[in-house]
C-alpha cells in the first residue's frame, strides 16, 4: 500500500511538472521573471518591486510601456520587447493572483513612520502636497490604473519617487512629477517606509 501511495504521488508530481512546462506563462515566469522578481512576485532584492498582488491592469500597462519604451529601464525594456499582448495579459494576471506581503517597521523607525503616515493620509498643505491616500487609497490598495503600494519595498518606492522628481521616469509622469518635486528627501523616505508597512488587504 505504501509503495502504491508513493507511486501515485510521483505520478501526480510528474503531471504537475508537465503541466507547468506546457503553460507558456509559467515558463516565462520561471525562466525570465523569477530571477529578479521571484517566482511568486516577492522580489529577490529590495531594489526590485514586489509584483505579488499588484493590480492586474496596472501591471499590464507597465509591461506594455516597457515594451514600447515609454518607460525606461535597460533591463526591462530588453525583457519585455518580445512579449506578445496575450503574454503580457497572462503575466499580469499571474502576479496579481499571488499572495501579498508587508514589512515590519522596526521600533527605531517609528518616528519616521509617523511622518509617513501624516503625509500619506493628510498631505502637506504648506507645500501643496495632497494626501497620497486620495489616489492610492487609505490602505494603499490602488486601483486598476494605480499601483498597490501596500507592502512594496521601501527602497523601490523611494527610487520611483526620486525618478519622478528628477524626470527620469518617463511614464505616469504628469501627476506624480508635480507631487514628487515638492517632496523633501525626508518626506520621500518617510512615505516609502510607511507604505512598505501597510498590511495588504486581500482582493475582493
154-204 pLDDT, tens digit per residue, is 999 999 999 999 999 989 878 899 999 999 999 999 999 999 999 876 555
Q: How far apart are CA 115 and CA 188, in angstroms?
A: 10
Q: How far apart are CA 150 and CA 102, in angstroms?
A: 7
Overall number of domains in the chain: 2
What average pLDDT does the segment 45-59 reach? 96
Summary mean pLDDT of the chain: 89
User: Percent of the chain at pLDDT above 90?
Assistant: 82
pTM: 0.85
pLDDT of residue 64: 98
- Give the number of other CB atoms < 10 A from CB of residue 40: 19
- At 124, give phi and psi (nearest 5°): -140, 95
Shared-domain flag, residues 86 and 130: no
Domain boundary residue among 96, 131, 155? 96
The verdict on residue 102 lying in a domain is no
pLDDT of residue 98: 96
Shared-domain flag, residues 22 and 85: yes
The verdict on residue 203 lying in a domain is no
Domain CATH number, residue 170: 1.10.760.10
Shared-domain flag, residues 89 and 128: no
Domain boundary residue among 63, 96, 129? 96
Shared-domain flag, residues 81 and 61: yes
What average pLDDT does the segment 63-85 reach? 96
User: Greater confidence, 101 or 200?
Assistant: 101
Residue 87: give the domain boundaries. 2-96
pLDDT of residue 173: 78
Shared-domain flag, residues 8 and 91: yes
pLDDT at 87 over 60: yes
Shared-domain flag, residues 87 and 47: yes
pLDDT of residue 18: 47
Q: How far apart are CA 6 and CA 72, in angstroms?
A: 50
The verdict on residue 38 lying in a domain is yes
Amino acid at each position: 500500500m505504501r509503495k502504491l501511495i508513493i507511486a501515485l504521488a510521483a505520478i501526480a508530481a510528474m503531471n504537475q511538472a508537465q503541466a507547468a512546462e506546457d503553460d507558456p506563462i509559467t515558463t516565462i515566469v520561471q525562466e525570465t521573471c523569477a530571477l529578479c522578481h521571484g517566482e511568486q512576485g516577492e522580489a529577490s532584492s529590495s531594489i526590485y518591486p514586489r509584483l505579488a498582488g499588484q493590480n492586474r491592469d496596472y501591471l499590464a500597462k507597465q509591461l506594455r510601456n516597457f515594451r514600447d519604451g515609454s518607460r525606461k529601464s535597460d533591463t526591462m525594456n530588453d525583457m519585455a520587447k518580445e512579449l506578445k499582448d496575450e503574454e503580457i495579459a497572462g503575466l499580469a494576471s499571474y502576479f496579481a493572483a499571488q499572495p501579498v506581503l508587508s514589512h515590519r517597521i522596526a521600533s527605531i523607525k517609528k518616528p519616521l513612520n509617523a511622518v509617513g503616515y501624516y503625509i500619506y493620509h493628510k498631505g502637506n498643505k504648506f507645500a501643496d502636497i495632497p494626501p497620497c491616500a486620495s489616489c492610492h487609497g487609505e490602505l494603499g490598495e490602488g486601483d486598476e490604473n494605480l499601483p498597490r503600494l501596500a507592502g512594496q519595498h521601501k527602497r523601490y518606492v523611494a527610487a520611483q519617487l526620486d525618478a519622478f522628481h528628477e524626470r527620469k521616469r518617463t511614464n505616469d509622469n504628469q501627476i506624480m512629477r508635480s507631487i514628487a518635486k515638492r517632496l523633501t528627501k525626508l518626506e520621500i523616505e518617510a512615505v516609502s517606509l510607511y507604505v512598505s508597512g501597510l498590511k495588504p488587504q486581500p482582493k475582493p
